[in-house]
Amino acid sequence: MRLLRFLIIIVIGSVLASAQEPHADITVDVRNVSVNVNVVDMNGRPVTKLGRDDFTISEDGEPQVIEKFDNVAVPYNVLLLVDCSGSTEAERPLMVNAVNRFAATLRSQDKIAVQDTIAVALFGVGIEMILDWQPLTQPSPAVKFQSNSSTCAGTNLYGALESAIGKFKGIDGRKGVVVLTDGAQTPIAMQNKVINGRSVSRIKNSVDDPEFQKTLRLISRSEVVFYFVAVNTDLNPDPVGGRGRFSTNGIFNPDLIYNMQQLRSRMQQLAENTQGRVAFPKLPSEVGPLYEDIANELGTNYTLWYSPKKPGSANETKAREIKVSVKTPGLQVKQKRYSYIPSSQ
């Protein structure tokens, strides 16, 4: 089974992985905190006709003023960002098919605003738009990858994520990026460790990687939500051994698995800091239902903004708890962010 055979599974596949690791506290600008939520009734059906006055929000138990509110009618804009580096070269025909199927799934939803848009970009050493923004109400175009594109030489994942934010300039409404990747950055910060008397080269912990931390801070302060479709991680390794850098003759040894865990952890941090999530696809049969799941999530989000009454401190390290409620009994709020650590930067 090939490396990217399971692309475009967005939401449900991340549930198991999320349960296996504690959520990191998110650092955000204390002057402007946003929270994305979905609301469902007692039968689990989305509730989509609520307004600002139907919600309350508190921080560490203190009520806050909702200064800005986006209901579900606000258009959403989705950028599909596809890794076309050397490790995925053989998968380009499959990726084209997957991208087109995802676009068609978005268009198949019951509620599509005229302003909802989609775009597609490749990334490797740089980023290249292969489909500029167009309304979801238009027919799905035939997306084609240029097999000899110089963009696909190398993998500057962090640079691509930063560039993706700029692609939303002048675009109104909610913003989401779906990144299809194995999470590898080249080059990536490495360190030598002595384990059981032998020297081992390993990927540095993310907190010790300035380039990653820079990207994490930048995307955390944007209004763009990042979803990752993570392939060939320690949770869903490629059955035939994946890339040579992580396996030897198809066998994943502990040192190589450690590197895969580091890449997975970085994708999870990037997603969680923007109120997105990571999917770890395993079965092709999951594709159809999960196409619909991501489209439904994008189409039923409410977004609330507030400026905390308590100012932030440069030395503050304790996470502040956020709670969003609705006034109508029997409705359940599903928050995408439950806490944050203030940042004065």
| Sole residue written with tokens 């304790």 | 318
CA angle 143, 280, 195 (to 5 degrees): 125
pLDDT score, position 248 = 56
The pLDDT assigned to 180 comes to 85
Low-confidence spans in the chain with pLDDT less than 50: 1-23, 110, 241-246, 287-288
Predicted local confidence at residue 340, as pLDDT: 84
Q: Facing residues of 201 across strands?
A: 192
Lateral strand order in the sheet of 174-181: 127-135, 117-123, 76-83, 174-181, 224-230, 278-279
Would the pTM count as exceeding 0.85? no
d(CA 31, CA 310): 10
Residue 326 is given by DSSP the state: E
- The sign one gets for the Cα dihedral 88, 224, 98, 266 is positive
pLDDT of residue 319: 87
* CA angle 186–188–192, rounded 5-degree value: 135
The pairing of strands 174-181 and 224-230 is: parallel
